[in-house]
Amino acid sequence: MSNKVALVTGCSTGVGLHAAIRLGQSGYTVIATMRDPGKQQALRDEAVNAGVSLEVTPLDVCSQASIDAAVAGVMARHGRIDLLVNNAGAGFLGSVEQTSDDDLRRTMETNFFGVWNLTKAVLPHMRAAGSGRIISVTSVGGLLGQPFNEAYCAAKFAVEGMMEGLAPLTRQFGVDICLVEPGPINTEFVASVRATSQASLAAMSEPYGTLAQRYMGSTGDVFATYGQTGADIADIIAALAAADSPDFRTITSDFAKQMVASKVVDPTGNSVIKIFAERLKG
C-alpha cells in the first residue's frame, strides 16, 4: 500500500496514540490529531521506537472551526483522506439527577457531535473519491445502558444509531463504516472520567451515594481482570482498516461480548435491566 492517508482523533494517549502508530506501521500516511499538541511527546517517543513518522495536527472535535481547518489542511497537503478513525472520547460519571447541563452537553459534544461533524466534513471527499473507510470507537456503553453512565451511554448510543443509519448509504459510493465496541481498556480514560466527574460524585446525596457504592463495588475490578490495552484496540482498528470486507461491528473482547449477549437474546430488554438492578442491590 502506498500513500493512503489516515486521520485519527484523540492521539495524545491510549487507543488513539497506539492506532496512529499501528496505522503508520501498516503504511498509511498518518495525520495524528489531538486537541492540545503540547501533549504530543508520548506519541513522538512511541513513533521513534516504532520507526514510523507521523504528522501531528491540532483538532478539537468540539470545535467546528478546528474540524474545518484540520480537514482543509489535510486535503491541501495530501489531496485525500482514505481512513477516518473517530477515536476521541471522554466519559462522565453521574446519574441524571447529578448531571449538570454543562456536563451533559460536554459529554454529547465530545462523544457524539464531534463524531457527527468530523464525519460530515470528511465524507464529501471520500464520496468524490469513490472509496474510504470510517472507523468509530464507541463502547459496550453504546449497546448497553449502564447506571451512573447515562450521559456517556446516550452519546455512544447516538453514534451507534448514526453510523447504523449511514452505513448502507455510504456503501453505495464505496465508503465502509465500522464500529469498534470495547469493554474496559487500561488507558487514561478512568483517570480523566474521575477528574471531570469530581463535582457530580461529591454532590451525590442519598439514595444515590449508597447505590453508587454498591454498583461500583459489585462490578469488581473489571479493568484489572478483563481490561484490554490501547495497543489491543489499535490492532483491531488496523485489521479493520486492512480488511477487504470489514465487519460493521466489532465487540473487542469475550468479556464485552458476554455483556452484550444478554441484550441480543432478550428482545424485551428486561434481562439487561435485571442484571444492572441486581448490582445496585449490593
Ligand X SMILES: NC(=O)c1ccc[n+]([C@@H]2O[C@H](COP(=O)([O-])OP(=O)(O)OC[C@H]3O[C@@H](n4cnc5c(N)ncnc54)[C@H](OP(=O)(O)O)[C@@H]3O)[C@@H](O)[C@H]2O)c1
15, 20, 22, 27: CA torsion to nearest 10:
160
- Decide: is 20 part of the binding site for ligand X (CB under 6 A): no
- Decide: is 197 part of the binding site for ligand X (CB under 6 A): no
Q: What is the CA radius of gyration of the chain?
A: 19
Minimum distance, C-beta of residue 63 to ligand X, in the bound complex (Å): 8
Minimum distance, C-beta of residue 13 to ligand X, in the bound complex (Å): 4
How far apart, in whole angstroms, are the C-alpha atoms of residue 225 and residue 99? 29
192, 194, 200, 202: CA torsion to nearest 10:
-140
Q: Looking at 28, 152, 208, 215, which residue is catalytic?
A: 152
- Decide: is 31 part of the binding site for ligand X (CB under 6 A): no
In terms of CB distance, is 44 or 171 closer to ligand X? 44
Q: Which residue in the set 87, 146, 170, 200 belongs to the binding site for ligand X (CB under 6 A)?
A: 87
How far apart, in whole angstroms, are the C-alpha atoms of residue 181 and residue 67? 24
| Residue 212 contacts residue 251 (beta carbons within 8 Å) | no
Stretch that binds ligand X, among 23-31, 34-42, 96-104, 164-172 (CB under 6 A): 34-42
Told to judge if 152 belongs to the known catalytic residues of this protein, a careful annotator would answer yes
274, 275, 277, 280: CA torsion to nearest 10:
160
Active site residues: 152
Residues that bind ligand X (CB under 6 A): 9-10, 12-16, 34-36, 39, 60-62, 87-90, 110, 137, 139, 182, 184-185, 187-189, 192, 230
